[in-house]
Each structure stands twice: as C-alpha cells, then as structure tokens.
Amino acid sequence: MATKLTARRSRKTSPTSETPLVQGLLIALSLLFMGVILLLPLYAVFHEALIKGPGAYFAALLEPDAQSAIRLTLLVAAIAVPLNLVFGVAASWAIAKFEFKGKAFLITLIDLPFSVSPVISGLVYVLLFGAGSVLGPVLKSYGIEVLFALPGIVLATIFVTFPFVARELIPLMQDQGTGDEEAALSLGANGWQTFFLVTLPNIKWGLLYGVLLCNARAMGEFGAVAVVSGKIRGQTTTIPLQVEMLYNEYNATAAFALASLLALLALVTLVLKSALEWRFSAEIAAGNH
Amino acid sequence: MDVRVTNVRKEFDRFPALHDVSLDIHSGELIALLGPSGSGKTTLLRLIAGLEMPTTGRIYFGDTDASEWTVQQRNIGFVFQHYALFRHMTILENVSFGLKVRPRSTRPPANEIRRRAMELLDLVQLSGLEKRYPNQLSGGQRQRVALARALAIEPAVLLLDEPFGALDAQVRRELRKWLREIHDRTGHTTVFVTHDQEEALELSDRLCVMSQGKVEQVGTPDTIYDQPSSPFVFGFIGESSHLPVNLNDGDIRFGSLSLGQAAGPLSAGPARLFFRPHDVDLVDPGTGLNGAIVASRRVGGTRRVELDLGVGQLVEIDVPFDQPFNQSGAISFRPRRWQLFPAAERGI
C-alpha cells in the first residue's frame, strides 16, 4: 500500500512537495493568518480614519500640530537615512572587502540595535546627554540642546535604524568579492573612481532596498524617540508620537488619520521592495558570472 | 619590458606563501607559472601586479625598482580567472574603462577611445558585440573581452591568472592557440598562471615550475620535460615511474640486475631512478626488469600496464596496444632513458 501510494505520488509531484490537499490547507492557513494579523488591522486603520468622511480626515491631517509632526518626521528621516546610508556602506565595505582583527565583533555591534529594546536605546541617550550627565550641561552651555530636541530624536533614530543598510549590503558585497575592484585598479582607476564606477553600481539595488527599509523604520520609530523627544506638542512629536497622544485623548479619527499616513508609507515600501526584489534577483542571477 | 623578481618572500598572517623566490622574466616572452594549488604561483603573479606587496625582496620593472609602486603605477594588464568584467557596462564600455578613467591630461579624446576599443574588439574577434552586456556572452567570449580590456591600456606586462580555468576543454584549447597568436602579434611580455601542464608546455616560451612556495625549475618546455632538475618536476610534468636502486661504482642496480651506468655526481649508495612510461624497451624474459601485470588500461594509441616487480614495487610502462602477453602474464623491460636522484630527496 505504501509503495503504491509513493509510486502514484511520484508521477504527479516532486518528492519534496506535498499532496494537493496538504498544499491547499497550508496555503489557506497562511492566508487566514495573514488576513487576521496583517490585513484586518490595516483595513481597520483606514476604516477608522475615514469613518467621519474625507472632510474630517483631511482636517485632521491639516491641523497645525499634525503638520508639525509630519514635517518633523520627514526632517528626521531626511537626516538619519542619508547618514545611515554612508555609515552602512562604509561598514559593509570594511567588513566585506578587508581582513582585520575584531571583524566579528564589528558585525555583532551592527546587530546590536536589533537586539536592544528601542526604549533602552532612548534611555542611553538620556543618560549620555541628560541634565545629570557630563556631556549634557557642557553642550547646553554652548547652546546645543540634544534631549527634547531635534538632535536627540535624530540620534535615537540613527541608532535604531543603523543595521538596515549594512545588513543588506554585507552578504551582497561578500558574495561579489574584490575581483571587480582589483580589475578597476589594475586598469588605472583611483579609489574614488573604483567606488563610484564599479562598486556602487554593483550594489545599487541592494543599497536602495536597504535604504527603503531604513526609511520606513526611521519614520515609524516610536520607543526610542518617545524617550528622548519629551513629546512637546507641535515641536518634538513625530507622527507615531502624535498618533499615540491623539489616541490617548480619545481623538480616534485624527489618530487614525495620521496613522493611515504611516500605513500608506508601509504599503508603498512594500510595493517598492517587491519590485526591487524582483529586479534585484534577476540582476543577481545574471551577474553571477 | 623585463621584470625581475629578486629574493621575494610573502607571508599571509605569518604563514609563508612564497620563500625567497627569484625569477627573471624577459621582455616579449610568454612565460608560464606552473604548479599544483598552494604552490604560490598566483601569489607571485599578484605580487608582480602590485595587488599584493612582498614581505621582503624587490621587484624590478626594467631597471627601476617597482616594489613600492601601486598597482596603478605599474601599468599592468591583469586578466582574472573569473573575468571580473563590469556587469553593468556594455562590452565597449568595459574595454574603454582603462582609458576613460585616466586623468584629463593623458586621456585620449572620446572618439579616439572608441576607435581603439573597437580595434581591440576586432583583435579579439568580437566585433559586433560591443553593445552587449557581459552576461549575454559565453565564457570564452567574456575572457576575450577581459583580455581586450587589459590590452587597452597598453600594459608594460600582461598578467593572466588561470585565464582558461573556468572554461570547458574545447574552448580552452581554442583560446590557448588564439592567445599565442595574439601574443606573437602584439609582442607583450606575458606571464600566465596555470596548473595545467599541457597548457603550459604547449603555450609558453619558458616555464617556471613551482612547488610549496619555491621555484623548482625554470626553462624551455623541452628542458623541463627532458631534463627535470628534481623528482618533483619529473613527477609533476608528464607521466613518470620510479624505482629504488643502488649505485655501486656508477653501476645502477635494482636487486641483482644491472640497468646501466650512472653519469653525474651520484656514484654510491641508494638512489631513485625516474623514467617515463613510454621511454622503455621491451626485452626477452630474464634480461630486464621482470614484472607481473597488475592492471592494464588503454591510453590513446598505447596500452599502459601496471607491473609488480616483486616486494610491492609497482611501476607503470606503456606497451603497444596490440602487444601479445605471454601465458604467465609477465613482461620484461628496460628503461631506455632515465634520471637519477638521491634517495632522500622529496618528490612524488
């Protein structure tokens, strides 16, 4: 009986694949799970946001504090993402192309923000730059406010989003090796020419992918930013903080209207990411010579 | 351009990859660095290129000490085993790269760059493919692009690292012949690394045989094949068999059988006699080395048989494929040409 079953199945499907019934069940289960956990909440966000009609929705978005939160979020991302792009490329370049002592330690360090709770990340900056710290009062005497101001928010965001670009690039650059760079150097190119004409084009899709993820996280970061921002309405609240404050004030429509912006950002990121993955995998396969 | 490598030592993390290597490369010659993997041949090539720096020792380009020069200053053409073509550039852009990155003062005008690149693509027989991308080309075509790209900068020396290693046998043979033609036409001093002895013997003017980070022998293909200077070279190049023998006043004896007279410095004591399987004469039973046939296989136009000479001593010899074997399954032979090495010397 068993041999008969195996023989029958092997004619239809490959040995590693399951019977259609099992396949169907697994697919249905994952769809159901995603529906409940992911799609339903997403729908709820937009539903709540638009429950009082488009008028209330846009009024909530145009409200001055909301506008200020949107501006601050964009500003923070505009500073943190390019910086992490540079740090990420530099770190992955060092890790993938050079041999040095402490390389494993550096890789662990890059992963640190992933393993530390964002609240802790925020608290670290409070300890470093707060009123009771050494650095805080010194900087304050020069008129530089770090905590409860833009610099603190940017620092916390950089910390939390640092791994995204580097994590994306390290395996890619390790896989590509140093052959292309050596070829460029042997042809007389200098270091900058080699980087901009050879290395960067080789990693551009992976880089873009990392930047997208980094940006999504930078705009959506809550925990670390909440600790360092001080939540001064209209001044140091980013979109996620503003959403929470509005929600706590039972202003559900306004909260969800703002939240829908973040959800929209997530959707756009997802679409771009899929498009890149499609493009990126084709390039990797083709470039594998 | 002459390239002289003098007493170069290279260590990686304290692990020596090259011990005190010296090599004179003559202007315009095609020289092969041949050796098994781990022999240091690629390291030597990369040291000449400036992709690695020697731990000690000097490298001269012509009469100038180039040891401290960067890879860019050395103006070498390097061809990589896996081509290392720029995948986001067309073939034409790949070939033009070396000229385009030059500083404004020495860069030819754009139409001149294009003309030269097209000329080189013609030389490597890839005209018409200049708008393609590397991934649209076969392995053999890619390696020809890599060669054109290296030639575009008019290199002082052309260095090739196992250029045909990633290609299949037939393409490899074609490209080998073709590389020789290109070399004869352009006259570049060329150094190439290979672990394929057939390739090295067929293609090069001279060979440098390397083993365990040392140069074993440098010479023409004939010298290397006919007068190997060490058991290693004898064993590594071509087929070989060897016998433990005893020298008695220049008389070479295997057991009680005299094989001939030894010429050279060795005259007494144990030694090893190396011979090629095809350098043997079949003789009447009892007048030569007598061996029972252990195995036999067809190799091209001849048959290679493995003989047991007694006391576990196995040798391989070639016999005509239609050689009749007698009932006992034994063969008698005498080596026609041989070389003697001290018994203790390392080798295969």
Task: Judge if A76 and A158 occupy the same domain.
Answer: yes
User: Using CA atoms, how far apart are residues B131 and B128, in angstroms rounded to an integer?
Assistant: 8
Distances (CA, A) of B210 to B33, B150, B207: 7, 26, 9
With beta carbons under 8 A apart, name residues in chain A contacting B76: 186
Instruction: Work out the mean pLDDT of chain A and round it to a whole number.
Output: 87
Cα separations in angstroms, A255 against A47, B64, B234: 12, 75, 84
What mean pLDDT do residues A114-131 have? 88
Nearest to B133 by CA among A206, A283, A193, A177: A283
Q: Both A35 and A155 in a single domain?
A: no
Q: Same structural domain for residues A135 and A24?
A: no
Structure tokens at A251: 């202003």
Phi/psi of residue A128, nearest 5 degrees = -75, -40
Whether residue A185 is found in the same domain as residue A151? yes
pLDDT digits (tens, 9 = 90+) for A196-220: 999 999 998 889 889 999 999 999 9
User: For residue A13, what pLDDT band results from cuts at 50, 70 and 90?
Assistant: low
Phi-psi map region of A9: left, alpha, beta (phi>0 left; psi -120 to 50 alpha): alpha
Averaged pLDDT for residues A135-151: 86
A143 inside domain: yes
Q: Which residue of B has its CA nearest to A99?
A: B13
Question: B272 near B244, Cβ under 8 Å?
Answer: yes
Q: Are A126 and A132 in contact (CB under 8 A)?
A: no
A188 vs B49, B82, B153: nearest CB? B153
CB of B87 less than 8 A from some CB of A:
yes
Average pLDDT of the segment spanning A61-71: 93
The verdict on A126 and A190 lying in the same domain is yes
H helical segments located in A98-231? 103-115, 118-129, 135-141, 150-176, 179-186, 191-194, 200-220, 223-229
**Cβ–Cβ gap A188/B102 under 8 Å:** yes
Question: How far is the C-alpha of B118 from the C-alpha of B122, rounded, in Å?
Answer: 6
pLDDT tens digits for chain B (348 residues)? 899 999 999 998 888 899 999 999 999 999 999 999 889 999 999 999 999 999 999 999 999 999 999 999 999 999 998 999 999 999 999 999 999 999 999 999 999 999 999 999 998 889 999 899 999 999 889 999 999 999 999 999 999 999 988 888 888 888 888 899 989 988 999 999 999 888 999 999 999 999 999 999 999 999 999 899 999 999 999 888 888 888 887 788 888 788 877 776 776 788 888 999 989 988 887 788 888 888 888 888 888 889 888 877 889 999 887 777 766 678 888 898 888 888 765 544
pLDDT tens-digit map of A69-105: 999 999 999 999 999 999 999 999 999 888 888 888 9
The pLDDT, as a whole number, for residue B348 is 46
For the cut 60, the answer to whether the pLDDT of residue A168 exceeds it is: yes
Q: Where does the pLDDT of residue A157 fall: very low under 50, low under 70, confident under 90, or very high at 90 and above? A: very high
CB distance A153 to A229 below 8 Å: yes
Q: Using CA atoms, how far apart are residues B62 and B52, in angstroms rounded to an integer?
A: 19
| Most B CBs within 10 Å, among A176, A186, A202, A288, to test the B interface | A186
Dig out the tokens for A71 from the structure.
């501006």
The two tokens of residue A199 are 């290395």
**Degrees (nearest 5) of the Cα angle B95, A201, A191?**
75
d(CA A109, CA B348): 49
Residue A114 maps to a domain: yes
Chain B contact present for A252, CB below 8 A? no
pLDDT tens readout for residues A269-286: 888 888 877 876 655 544
The reply to whether residue B135 touches residue A187, judged by beta carbons under 8 angstroms, is: no
Interface residue B12 vs chain A (CB under 8 A) = no
Burial bucket for residue A28 (CB in 10 Å: 0-12, 13-18, 19+): exposed
Same domain, A38 and A152: no
Measured CA to CA, the distance from residue A119 to residue A127 in angstroms comes to: 12
Number of domains in chain A: 2
Question: For residues B276 and A259, what is the distance between their CA atoms, to the nearest angstrom?
Answer: 83
Could you tell me if A58 and A114 lie in one domain?
yes
Q: Is residue A6 part of a domain?
A: no
Q: Do B101 and A286 lie within an 8 Å CB cutoff?
A: no
Name residues whose C-beta falls within 8 Å of residue A208's C-beta, 6 or more positions apart in sequence: A276
Contact list, B152 vs chain A (CB under 8 Å) = 187
**What does the pLDDT read at residue B344?**
67
Query: Do the domain assignments include residue A1?
Result: no
Residue B33 DSSP SS3: strand
pTM, full prediction: 0.81
Q: What number of C-beta contacts closer than 8 Å exist between A and B?
A: 70
Q: Which residues of A touch B80 (CB under 8 A)?
A: 179, 182-183
Contact B124, B144 (CB under 8 A): yes
Same domain, A157 and A252: yes
CA distance A281 to chain B (A): 14
pLDDT of residue A288: 40
- pLDDT at position A2 is 47
* Spatial contact of B22 and B54, defined as CB atoms under 8 Å apart: no
CB within 8 Å: A188 and B80: no
Report which DSSP code applies to B326.
P
* Cα separation, A178 vs A173, whole angstroms: 8
Q: Given A33, A49, A65, which residue is the final one in a domain? A: A49
User: Which residue among B51, B135, B153 places its CB closest to the CB of A187?
Assistant: B153
Nearest-Cα residue of chain A relative to residue B51: A182
Q: Is A14 domain-assigned? A: no
Q: Are residues A106 and A33 in the same domain?
A: no
- Asked if residue A9 has pLDDT above 60, the reply is no
Q: Residue A39 is part of which domain span?
A: 20-49
The answer to whether residue B134 neighbours chain A at the CB level (below 8 Å) is yes
In chain A, pLDDT over 90 holds for what percent of residues?
48
A200 inside domain? yes
Q: What is the pLDDT of residue A277?
A: 78
Q: Which chain B residue's Cα is nearest to A181?
A: B84
Residues of A within 8 A of B101 (CB-CB) are 184, 187-190, 193, 197
Pair (A145, A29) in one structural domain: no
CATH number, domain at A231?
Answer: 1.10.3720.10
> In whole angstroms, how far apart are CA A167 and each of A70, A76, A170, A265, A280?
28, 21, 6, 22, 16
Residue A8 is assigned to a structural domain of this protein: no
Contacts of A237 by beta carbon, 8 Å cutoff, 6+ apart: A65, A68, A69, A72, A229, A231, A245
Domain boundary among A28, A49, A70: A49
Interface ipTM: 0.84
User: A45 and A76: one domain?
Assistant: no
Residue-level pLDDT at B283 = 86
Find the helix or strand (DSSP H, E) in which A14 lies: none
Paired tokens of B61: 């380009």
What sign does the dihedral A213-A197-B118-B84 (CA atoms) show?
negative
Shared domain check, A196 and A120 = yes
Closest B-chain CA to A200: B88
Do the beta carbons of residue A89 and residue A207 sit within 8 Å? yes
Find chain A residues with C-beta within 8 A of B82's C-beta: 179, 289
Q: Rounded CA gap, B179 and A138, in Å?
A: 69
The confidence score (pLDDT) of residue B326 equals 65
Q: Which of B332, B304, B308 is nearest to B318 (CA)?
A: B304
Which residue in A184, A188, A201 is closest to B88 by CB distance? A201
CB B59 within 8 A of CB B4: yes
Assess if residue A270 is contained within a domain: yes
